[in-house]
Amino acid sequence: MLERSGEASWKMVEPKRGAAKGARVEDLLLTLSVLRWNDIVADGTDARKYGFDAPSLEVTLLTGDGAELATLVVGKREGRQAYVRAKAPTVYTIDISRLGAPPKVPDDFQG
């Protein structure tokens, strides 16, 4: 878990406490903010089929008081696409080139 500390710095809260690489966190947030889906695939009731039972990435954004703003779950990556879903069960495909490799947590964010 990462937490904003002030205007421009980040800190890691879980699984290890300490400073975080602010640029790496900002890169991830920017990547997520510009993601666009290619196709709507299904209603997502079969989590295992799309890899949501063991996601390659899950990001939840919270407000300062802890209320959830949004969640994005990235499931299987097949060929040039990945299956994703937000809070709702709808499953979308996105182009992997827009998503990039999943970050290694906590190593990629420890500062």
Predicted confidence at residue 91, as pLDDT, reads 94
Rounded Cα distance between 103 and 40, Å, is 25
Written as tens digits, the pLDDT of the chain (111 aa) is: 888 888 878 998 888 898 999 999 999 999 999 999 999 998 777 889 999 999 999 999 988 898 999 999 999 999 999 999 997 789 999 999 998 888 888 889 888
Q: Identify the bridge partners of residue 92 per DSSP, sorted by sequence position.
A: 40, 84
Q: Which burial class, exposed, middle or buried, applies to 44 when counting CB atoms under 10 A from its CB (0-12, 13-18, 19+)? A: buried
Tokens for 66?
């802890």
Rounded Cα distance between 61 and 4, Å, is 11
What 3-state class would DSSP assign to 77? strand
Predicted confidence at residue 37, as pLDDT, reads 94
Predicted confidence at residue 16, as pLDDT, reads 85
Task: Answer for the pair 1, 13: CB distance below 8 angstroms, yes or no.
Answer: yes
Q: What is the pTM of this model?
A: 0.86
